[in-house]
Amino acid sequence: MDLLSTLVDKGLRLEPPTRAEALAVLATSDDELLDVVAAAGKVRRAWFGRRVKLNYLVNLKSGLCPEDCSYCSQRLGSQAGILKYTWLKPDEALAAANAGVAGGARRVCLVASGRGPTDRDVERVSETIAAIRDEHGAGVEVCACLGLLSPGQAARLRTAGADAYNHNLNTSEATYEDICTTHDYADRADTVRQAREGGLSPCSGLIAGMGESDEDLVDVAFALRELDVDSVPVNFLIPFEGTPLAGQWDLTPQRALRILAMVRFVCQNTEVRVAGGREVHLRTLQPLALHVANSIFLGDYLTSEGQPGRADLEMIADAGFEVEGAVAEPPAGDGTAGDGTAGDGTARANTARESAEVPVAVRRRGAGTELPPNA
Ligand code: SF4
């Protein structure tokens, strides 16, 4: 049986692939790309049908982080010209969340920069969770992403009404110290475990395009499987100017699809989400990613702008998929706002993007601003 048939077979039986098989997916050629996507699509459809889950990010506190994660525009010493603000009030966060829910999101992700929350921070976020619960009941999932957890905090968030907690492993244990010196891989894995033990659904993912090897990507995918997380966001590095990884445009759309497929074959029945960097790295191949992943973020990211929420919904419909949960009407608006990330329209799908091209569009709307959010 050839590689892809074996991986589909294992995916349908929930038998893990071998490391060699996962590495072989990353080594496939562009000629084989559609076969890889089709095979991953069989596993995706077996567990998630044609549903796409929409998630919506609300950045509760932006920038000014004391940690030094090299990929992050909010890191210590970042010169990226991002929005910087402290905690949103519950009504401000609710207004942002409402926009995402109106756009079709079924999970709201409440994110704050920082090493980890104080107990007072957990209280603040609990107030925001309560406000979202009051407004939307059980129809919307709430995920918190507040950094490294201390004992007892996960349970308090659960009691407040949170459903899930996100904390990404980001890369392999072997290379973690290359991307961050202020905390380590074990700290991150420990927080994912604490989330589960506190009754929260663990969400943890990776960032591709930071100079890692295929082995690193396979390591982190298997580590996430081992941690038994419920959802895996796959980020593609957005190399902000003013951060150590500025100018690191390593990924091609084809490579991004192979990475997503590898994650699907390893984390077979786990929610796989195309996360940050979708527009800038997959570009015109974004719809193919829906055949592999079953979840995306709607609208903007934490500190950069995504494509208009309307374009996300149209892409899902055009590709023959359906939004999970109640299918929302496309949000009002002309659908043209803020599209600074989808490339310049020239044919260059098989090349890594060059830093001199269209710069990353720093988010200037939504949470923390006077302007309406993109959803
Ligand atoms: S990833 Fe989180 S902890 Fe690391 S610098 Fe960014 S906001 Fe801080």
pLDDT of residue 167: 98
DSSP string, 283-340: GGGHHHHTTT-SEEE-S--SSB--S-HHHHHHHHHHTT-EESSSPPPPPSS-S-TT--
Q: Is residue 206 part of a domain?
A: yes
Strands (E), 218-302: 231-236, 271-274, 295-297
Asked if pLDDT for residue 125 goes beyond 60, the answer is: yes
Closest-lying ligand 1 atom to the alpha carbon of residue 112: 7
Tokens of 363: 């988010």
Residue 48 lies in a domain: yes
Mean pLDDT, the chain, whole residue set: 91
For the cut 80, the answer to whether the pLDDT of residue 332 exceeds it is: no
Q: How confident is the model at residue 330 (pLDDT cuts 50, 70, 90)?
A: very low
Give yes or no for residue 117 CB within 6 A of ligand 1: no
Does the annotation count 273 as an active-site position? yes
Give the pLDDT score at 315.
97
Provide the 8-state DSSP code for 241: T
d(CA 53, CA 128): 22
Name residue, tokens 């419909």: 317
Query: Which among 298, 310, 308 has a CA at the least distance from the CA of 342?
Result: 308
Asked if residue 86 belongs to a domain, the reply is: yes
**Residue 333: which pLDDT band, with cuts at 50, 70 and 90?**
very low
Beta bridge partners of 297: 55
- Answer whether residue 357 is part of any domain: no
List Cα–Cα distances, 46 to 165, 291, 294, 324, in angstroms: 26, 11, 11, 15
- Active-site option among 203, 278, 353, 363: 203
| In a domain? residue 272 | yes
d(CA 168, CA 275): 12
Q: Is residue 145 among the annotated active site residues?
A: no
Residue 375: predicted pLDDT = 86
Mean pLDDT of 72-101: 95
Q: What share of the chain in percent tops pLDDT 70?
A: 91
From the list 41, 42, 36, 38, the residue with the least C-alpha distance to 21 is 36
- Residue 360 is predicted with a pLDDT of 77
Res. 18: pLDDT tops 50: yes
pLDDT of residue 362: 87
Identify which of 75, 121, 168 to mutate to test ligand 1's pocket (most ligand atoms within 8 A of the CB).
75
pLDDT tens-digit series, residues 261-314: 999 999 999 999 999 999 999 999 999 999 999 999 999 999 999 999 999 999
The single residue listed with the structure tokens 């929930």 is 14
Is 180 annotated to bind a ligand? Reply is: no
Q: Residue 349: is its pLDDT beyond 60?
A: no
Q: What pLDDT sits at residue 353? A: 57
Q: Is 146 in the pocket of ligand 1 (CB under 6 A)?
A: no
**CA pair distance 58, 115, nearest whole angstrom:** 18
Q: Residue 163: how many CB atoms within 10 A of its CB?
A: 20
Q: Give the integer Cα–Cα distance in Å for 60 and 93.
A: 7
Question: What string of DSSP letters covers 119-143?
Answer: HHHHHHHHHHHHHHHHHHGGGSEEE
In a domain, 367, yes or no: no
Distance CA 362, CA 353 (A): 17
Number of domains observed in the structure of the chain: 1
pLDDT for residue 346? 32
Q: CA nearest 36: which of 225, 259, 295, 273? A: 259
Rounded to whole angstroms, the Cα distance separating 207 from 195 reads 20
3-class DSSP state for residue 165? strand
Rounded Cα distance, 257 and 275, in Å: 13
The answer as to whether 351 is a domain residue is no
- Going from the Cα of 270 to the center of ligand 1, the distance in angstroms, rounded, reads 25
Residue 195 and residue 149 in contact, taking contact as beta carbons nearer than 8 Å: yes
Catalytic site residue from 65, 145, 180, 267? 65
What CATH number does residue 98 fall under? 3.20.20.70
Domain housing 192: 3-323
Predicted TM-score (pTM) of this structure: 0.90
Q: Is residue 372 part of a domain?
A: no
Q: Residues 6 or more apart from 264 whose CB is under 8 A from it?
A: 11, 40, 43, 44, 272, 292, 293
In whole angstroms, give the CA distance from residue 190 to residue 264.
24
Reply yes or no on whether 203 is catalytic.
yes
3-state helix, strand, coil in the chain (%, to 5): 40, 15, 45
* Residue (of 177, 236, 231) closest to 204 by Cα position: 231
pLDDT of residue 121: 97
CA 308 to chain centroid = 17
The predicted structure's pLDDT at residue 361: 82
